[in-house]
Structure 1
Amino acid sequence: MPEKSTSKLETDSERDSELLKIRAHHLCCIQGFQGYGYSPAFVANMRAVISDLESLPSRPLKLVTECDAICVSCPSKRECTIQESILSRRIRQMDLVVLDKLKIEDGSVINADEAFGLINSRINSSSDVEEVCGTCKWRQKCLWYMQAGK
């Protein structure tokens, strides 16, 4: 019996190491990214995350409303980690809108390909897109924003 428990823990641990923590609204950003960003480090990290997802489309994602694998290189990360900041609340609201539209709870685990499929099937009207992206400063450079809902 302890062997099963140990085996299960190893399996859970292996799965956790495969999980990529992604803010819910970043599912849109990833699809619209054209190489623009807050800094060269941010752009390089975003490209690395996208490359990882392209090479393993079924990779499990943990959808969150907090800093994620993309945020680690963002110059505004410090402000986003302060829960009371206006920026933090605005960005978290984008995540909550996405999760609500996908009918998924914060912290849910879903395969990347399934998550992108849900985004593109459930957030596809111009009003939905505007509700998610309305305050984003990257809207005019984002392919997903420009194409979604049209």
Structure 2
Amino acid sequence: MIELRGHHLFCLLGYRGMGYSPAYVENMTRIHQSLRNNPGTWIQIVKGPDHLCDKFPATGEYHCENLTIYDRDQDILNKMNLEIGQILKWEDIESRIREYITPSDIQVVCKTCTWRSLGVCEEGIQEIHQGKGLKEVH
């Protein structure tokens, strides 16, 4: 089972192989590709640092504990009708994205995210709506 916090549900949609450090990228790629290849993987929604935060570099501010990140997590969980502690399959998360989320939601719930300007998260949501699943990362 993979533990994920709210905003990482969106980050995985836009993931294109970039990250905060080589170790972070390696970890995120492994989790991303695991979900892509096996959408029946069980996910537990957690509050605070998750399996992606495990490899956040120890240099600079540890934003995984930033209060604005917790707010973003909760905003996304609210939009997707999910709760902390809930366990469901990745394919069920994709289904909820199709039901509750539009690409333009990124501009609102992720307005302070430094990755938002790349536009990849909106693209990822659109691809989920089209039934494509997570994009392959090389």
- State whether TM-score is above 0.5: yes
Residue pair 2:45, 2:87 contacting (<8 A) in 1 also = yes
- Letter matched to residue 62 of structure 2: E
Kindly indicate whether structure 1 or structure 2 has the higher relative contact order, using CA contacts under 8 Å at least 6 residues apart: 2
Question: 1:46-86 deviations in whole A, cap 9, x for unaligned?
Answer: 1000111123211110112311111111126973465xxxx
Whole-angstrom distance in 2 between the partners of 1:142 and 1:36: 13
Residue pair 1:32, 1:144 contacting (<8 A) in 2 also = yes
Q: What is the TM-score with the length of structure 2 in the denominator?
A: 0.79
Q: CA deviation at 1:129?
A: 2.0
Match of 1:89 in 2: 67
Residue pair 1:22, 1:69 contacting (<8 A) in 2 also = yes
Structure 1 pair 121–76 and aligned structure 2 pair: CA distance change class (3 A): farther
**Pairing partner for 1:134 from 111, 123, 129:** 111
Q: What is the TM-score with the length of structure 1 in the denominator?
A: 0.73
Structure 1 unmatched ranges of 5 or more: 1-18, 83-87
Aligned residues: 125
Whole-angstrom distance in 2 between the partners of 1:123 and 1:81: 23
Residue pair 2:56, 2:62 contacting (<8 A) in 1 also = no
Match of 1:119 in 2: 97
Q: CA deviation at 1:134?
A: 0.7
Whole-angstrom distance in 1 between the partners of 2:51 and 2:103: 28
Between 135-144 and 103-112, report the one with greater CA deviation.
Answer: 135-144
Higher helix share: 1
Structure 2 unmatched ranges of 5 or more: 127-138
